Structure 1
Amino acid sequence: MSKQLEGPILPFLRIDATIALPKFRQVQDQLRMAILKGHLRAGTRLPASRILADELGLSRQTLVRVLENLKAEGYLEARQGAGTFVSAALPRQSTKLSMPARGDVTDSAPPRLSRIGEQSRRMSADIGQMEDRPFLPNRPALDRFPFAIWRKCWNAVARSGKAVAMGYGDVAGELVLRQRIAEYLALHRRDPCDPEQIVITPGGHAAFSLAALALADAGDGIWFEDPGPITTSNLFRTLGLRLCPTHVDAEGLDVEGAIARYPDARLAFVMPSRHHPLGVTLTLPRRLALLEWARANDAWIIEDDYDSEFRYDGAPLPSMRSIDSNGRVIYAGSFSKALYPGLRVGYLVLPPPLIGTFRNLSALIHRSVPVETQLALAEFIGGGHFASHLRRMRSLYAERRETFTQVAQETLAGLARIDSSESGLNALAWLKGGRQDQAPHRAVLDAGLQCYPLSDYTIATPLPGALILGYAGVPADRMRPLLLRLADAIARTEGNIGR
């Protein structure tokens, strides 16, 4: 790039012909104020005087005068052969707004918000911002991700020079990615579908939002497993749905109880392959009963296929969609656990009558997931790298699960009972002695570790205290010292029984 063209665009510079202040003074004052407010940071290179003069419609001599005056005042500095810069000697200015501390009372009235905005305002500001510490639930082994191969896939897309990668792309997602996902589902989930039934979304929660908005109105009921993920329950509440908490036992969602209590619900949100956080699987009789309820009541089932790729005893279980003969299941999947959360690619598999509606709604809300990301992911799957990565991760997580379970049973003996299901990335530590989980949770955080308290996931059904612990992101050789630290943290809360 020519040095003449370097430097920021300065749209705040305006010449007002209606005031008596000379034009050079107007520009000079505006530049000085931008520097004082931190809009032009120390060390920023300014555009050349010729460029500024052309953009403002002034003579170059006028702009040279402005720049020289600001140099004399100490706001700017010249660097031989490089140009004019905001002086590095100036103190850094903060442009952040002054925010009241959480819980502080201010004199100003709260802003007028929509119903959705008001619901969002009441939620915790920490949603989705958990620190990445040992035992963070749902965290894959990011250190084992094949970054070199992923980079090659991305570079292959860039080198192809496809102009489509620079556009908005298909509102349903790039066809090549939908084809790769359809192939994967047919081979690995025993659930064939047409690529036209797939809509790509920016992550799993976007998929849930799309389904809720397309299929239910505010006030409609949605069966929701209790306990269940707090961010997802908050999402449905925010969208105006009436949450219908439904008990989960060893056989999964209590379908009979849900029918008795909430027969008129419009939706059911379920995690049949592996419930989070309890880790149970929805039995076949209950799956069939759920499908029959949906058919008979013109209701819809949102199937969250939560980390089903990681089953350590036998092949992954078939999806509910694969046994749905009436087209009542909307299948939702993502790559957050299988690859990494920051990828932000999810997808829906839809019954044919819903395809047009979901495509149109996705176009209105999301427009499209970044095309380059989709094409790189398609290259990664098509090259066999996704299957290879899953195979390696299953082996790794099985090893880490076995080590975690063995060491945790030793180190937490007398403190907690370990419940590690045959799939997924997490385990439950059921606290002994009638202890509740909030105080142990705080102690674990204070110890530099991470977990979720089960009580945060419960809606209407009280459960014994338990901590949700993620083992997949912790190397086997670090398990013992970290679990000893965890045990020490829990032990320090022994006086908090019943709190």
Structure 2
Amino acid sequence: MAKQLEGPILPFLRLDAGTALPKFRQVQDQLRTAILQGHLRAGTRLPASRILCEELGLSRQTLVRVLENLKAEGYLEARQGAGTYVSAALPRRPAKARVAPTEDDAPPRLSRIGAASRGVSAAIGRVEPRPFLPNQPALDRFPFAVWRKCWNAGARSGSAGMGYGDVAGEFVLRQRIAEYLALHRRDPCDPEQIVITPGGHAAFTLAALALADAGDGVWFEDPGPVTTSNLFRTLGLDLCLADVDADGMDVAGAMARHPDARLAFVMPSRHHPLGVTLSLPRRLALLEWARANDAWIIEDDYDSEFRYDGAPLPSIRSIDSHGRVIYAGSFSKALYPGIRIGFLVPPPQLVGTFRNLSGLIHRSVPVETQLALAEFIGGGHFASHLRRMRGLYAERRSAFIDAGQAALAGLAEIECSESGLNALVWLRNGRKDRTVQQDVLDAGLQCYPLSDYTIATARPDALILGYAGVPAERMRPYLDRLAETLSTS
């Protein structure tokens, strides 16, 4: 009986009682058109004739006539004991796309945000994973077997994991994150303060929507992450650019130029892409500015887990005594980017707003993934994985520095901070990073040009390279290839 229910649902088959065209012709023409347009592809099995008769209100004799005619025309074929299929001899082609708009077509009417989004790029997920891809963890060392067990353990909750979840995230995961923050980041919080989001980028979006209106200013480090600056622009915020030096964001300069900004977006643990950390005096000055101006700080705890010269630095939130910091974190670098789980820790007075807004925008993050992650953290596997990755990345960082200094001598200067997954390669002899990037891609490697992150402040040309995803024994061959590419650029 189950076999008879196989085959696609065909919603396009409709009988029109108001036309003089016979029923068999209506069904026959609609099936033929669906095959020609690629909606029914070659090799597709049709539903059993009994099912089609019931759904269309046709007699079996009428349907048999339709199928026999289409078989005779070459559109269908019968397979002994298996049913009726779209002929395998037909070309396999996708359904026809709608005709692309021409220059004469009027532009579609969009919202302000929709119109703004057309001018920026969101193609971050389309990057090919080649050697030296920035921000790429060592996916080859991910504990797949342990993760699978954690997933299965979470799935034992049965149908509970298949429904809508709490808009703030599953409480067990929020508990585990709160325990992790208290132990590893020296930043205790109530699990009820935590709001789970589908990734870190979604956390920034939620904070910006909750706390700022179009036209409000946001302090933003220059250079800074492209997707985040594009996000704020799209939301209508005014980017108030802040310089970055060896001590991180120039807070005094930002205060002098943009004292009335509504938000400050900052990466204090490890700035991306320059790799510097925000000094304690500047952290305190930032907190005082936010308190005095009724402003908010979005703290992106970027790459905080991977520091190679000591324990991770405390967060700004851990020294915030006035409730002005919204802490944002994710598991994209610590585990893998596709997990799409981030979180926010807003001050207590904002928790209700963030919960409600998250429910309106995201509804909930997939519950099964949350339960698996909670099991992974609670079982001690997350801490063990971080410990292993710190050792591995420290080894790969050393291999990158040693091999890079030898291979790139005279071509570029390597700068590799004591944290994170990336390094900067400052180009010499007038080489332009955007031009060199294409040559690097042609050589089968990957990099990002620093110029793409720069908004207004001119800086020397450099390439951003990720070393964490490259085995130590492969560093020298890949860097030799990079050197060969630079020598001919």
Report if TM-score (shorter chain) is over 0.5: yes
- Pair 1:297 & 2:287 matched: no
State the secondary structure of the residue aligned to 2:265: strand
Where does residue 49 of structure 1 map in the other structure?
A: 49
How big is each residue's C-alpha offset from its partner over 1:306-364, in whole Å with a ceiling of 9 and x where there is no partner?
01101111111111100000000000000000000011000001100101101111111
Where does residue 208 of structure 2 map in the other structure?
A: 212
2:162 is matched by which residue type in structure 1? M
1:69 is matched by which residue type in structure 2? N
Q: Is the 8 A contact 1:252 1:283 kept in 2?
A: yes
Where does residue 226 of structure 1 map in the other structure?
A: 222
Distance in 2, matches of 1:105 and 1:254, equals 47
- Pair 1:318 & 2:318 matched: no
Worse-superposed segment, 381-390 or 434-443: 434-443
For residues 160-199 of structure 1, the aligned pairs below 5 Å read 160-161=157-158, 163-199=159-195
State the secondary structure of the residue aligned to 2:156: helix
Q: Is the 8 A contact 1:137 1:468 kept in 2?
A: yes
For residues 18-97 of structure 1, the aligned pairs below 5 Å read 18-95=18-95, 97=97
Q: Identity across aligned pairs (percent)?
A: 81
Deviation at 1:54, TM superposition (A): 0.8
Deviation at 1:172, TM superposition (A): 0.4
- Pair 1:200 & 2:196 matched: yes
Distance in 2, matches of 1:314 and 1:349, equals 25
2:424 is matched by which residue type in structure 1? L
Distance in 2, matches of 1:23 and 1:105, equals 39
- Pair 1:239 & 2:241 matched: no
1:432 is matched by which residue type in structure 2? R
2:471 is matched by which residue type in structure 1? P
Distance in 1, matches of 2:417 and 2:189, equals 29
Distance in 2, matches of 1:152 and 1:425, equals 28
For residues 33-432 of structure 1, the aligned pairs below 5 Å read 33-95=33-95, 97=97, 106-124=103-121, 126-161=123-158, 163-432=159-428
Deviation at 1:484, TM superposition (A): 0.7
Deviation at 1:159, TM superposition (A): 3.3
Worse-superposed segment, 53-62 or 460-469: 53-62
How big is each residue's C-alpha offset from its partner over 1:347-388, in whole Å with a ceiling of 9 and x where there is no partner?
001100101101111111110111111111111111111111
Deviation at 1:125, TM superposition (A): 6.0
Number of residue pairs the alignment of both structures matches: 489
State the secondary structure of the residue aligned to 1:128: helix
Where does residue 486 of structure 1 map in the other structure?
A: 482
Deviation at 1:98, TM superposition (A): 6.9
Distance verdict in 2 for CA 1:428–1:292, change over 3 Å: same
1:233 is matched by which residue type in structure 2? S
Distance in 1, matches of 2:122 and 2:281, equals 40
Worse-superposed segment, 244-253 or 441-450: 441-450
Deviation at 1:438, TM superposition (A): 1.6
Distance in 1, matches of 2:380 and 2:63, equals 59
Deviation at 1:232, TM superposition (A): 0.6
Deviation at 1:99, TM superposition (A): 7.7
- Pair 1:436 & 2:436 matched: no
2:422 is matched by which residue type in structure 1? N
Deviation at 1:105, TM superposition (A): 7.5
Runs of 5+ in structure 1 lacking a partner? 494-499
Deviation at 1:96, TM superposition (A): 5.1
Q: Is the 8 A contact 2:185 2:315 kept in 1?
A: yes
How big is each residue's C-alpha offset from its partner over 1:434-491, in whole Å with a ceiling of 9 and x where there is no partner?
4331211121111111111111111111001111000000111111110011111111
1:2 is matched by which residue type in structure 2? A
Deviation at 1:130, TM superposition (A): 1.5
2:59 is matched by which residue type in structure 1? S
Worse-superposed segment, 150-159 or 455-464: 150-159
Runs of 5+ in structure 2 lacking a partner? none
State the secondary structure of the residue aligned to 1:450: coil
State the secondary structure of the residue aligned to 2:303: coil
1:8 is matched by which residue type in structure 2? P
Distance in 1, matches of 2:317 and 2:448, equals 30
Q: Is the 8 A contact 1:434 1:464 kept in 2?
A: no
State the secondary structure of the residue aligned to 1:353: helix
Q: Is the 8 A contact 2:401 2:416 kept in 1?
A: yes
Q: Is the 8 A contact 2:232 2:239 kept in 1?
A: yes
Distance in 2, matches of 1:26 and 1:159, equals 49
Deviation at 1:414, TM superposition (A): 0.6
Distance in 1, matches of 2:243 and 2:483, equals 30
Deviation at 1:57, TM superposition (A): 1.7
Q: Is the 8 A contact 2:45 2:83 kept in 1?
A: yes
Distance in 1, matches of 2:169 and 2:188, equals 18
Distance in 2, matches of 1:367 and 1:8, equals 30
Worse-superposed segment, 78-87 or 330-339: 78-87
Q: Is the 8 A contact 1:36 1:93 kept in 2?
A: no
